Amino acid sequence: MPAMTDTAPDGLPFFKMHGLGNDFVVIDARAAPRPVSDRLVAALADRHRGVGFDQLAVIAPAPEADAHLTFYNADGSTSAACGNATRCIARMILDETGATALRLSTDRGLLLAEDAGDGLTRVNMGQPQTLWSEVPLAEAMDTLELPIEGTPTATGMGNPHCTFFVADAEAIPLDTFGPRYEHHPLYPQRTNVQVAQIVGPDHIRMRVWERGVGVTLASGSSSCATGVAAARRGLTGRKTRIDLDGGTLWIDWREDGVWMTGPNMTVFEGRLTPQFLAETAR
């Protein structure tokens, strides 16, 4: 990544947002470039000495869309997709512009977002990737039931996912279960890990271990992947309610992609001080 050069006297503005407790720092670089370094990501992610986040998102201008989004995990790695952050940023731009729909460019592709009413926002997270080479996996195989204990399902949503369907999601020790499979040899890029329990018709209880982050209260792309996996396995239809530790998302796998609907919150606006930025530039 390029070095952080923005050490202007007035510091660097940012937003703190969350989607169902999955929290983000958002830097708006539409008006001026805001280069991000590994050191800045790590310093910002520190919940004691920085701000703290599950993901950092940078908004930049995009000629073919309303904005371009780049996502960083708390460990400094990048991710092509982050559903909750996409939804929160979409809400901010919808409110800012007065539009009812917009297009957001990401490394995942061009994503559509729209006002869903009642304070909710809907985002099309694109078509799921169900071929082993798309997820990606390390070797050719059927992604519906992987040769791993528990026969999880592999799905790509711009980032890799491994979904275990279990009898009781609450009983899984996610802090040890998650890292065991995040680094499984079948996933060369590591993976997000979900434990999902079918609790009723088209109703799922899910908990998430996110690669590069750890246990998180919610994950939009994980919810999309789990909704797709459940439908592929005949456990639900293509429209599902998914209850996460932080709240509820609604997933609708349509012909044009996987639509995710949920709430969003901008918590506060802040400004990184020149002193903090200078420390991260060393």
To the question of whether residue 129 is assigned a binding role by annotation, the answer is: no
- Any binding-site annotation on 210? yes
Residues with catalytic function? 82
117 marked among binding-site residues:
no
84 is in an annotated binding site: yes
Q: Is 139 exposed, middle or buried (0-12, 13-18, 19+ CB in 10 A)?
A: exposed
The tokens describing 41, both together, are: 């990501």
The answer on whether 83 is annotated among ligand-binding residues is: yes
Q: Which amino acid is at 53?
A: F
Residue 60's nearest CA partner among 87, 82, 91, 93 is 93
User: Residues, the chain, total?
Assistant: 282
- DSSP string of 8-65, one letter each residue: -TT-EEEEEEEETTEEEEEEE-SSS-----HHHHHHHH-TTTS---SEEEEEE--TTS
264 labeled part of a ligand binding site: no
Annotated binding site for substrate: 22, 55, 73, 83-84, 159, 192, 210-211, 220-221
Q: Which residues are annotated as a binding site?
A: 22, 55, 73, 83-84, 159, 192, 210-211, 220-221
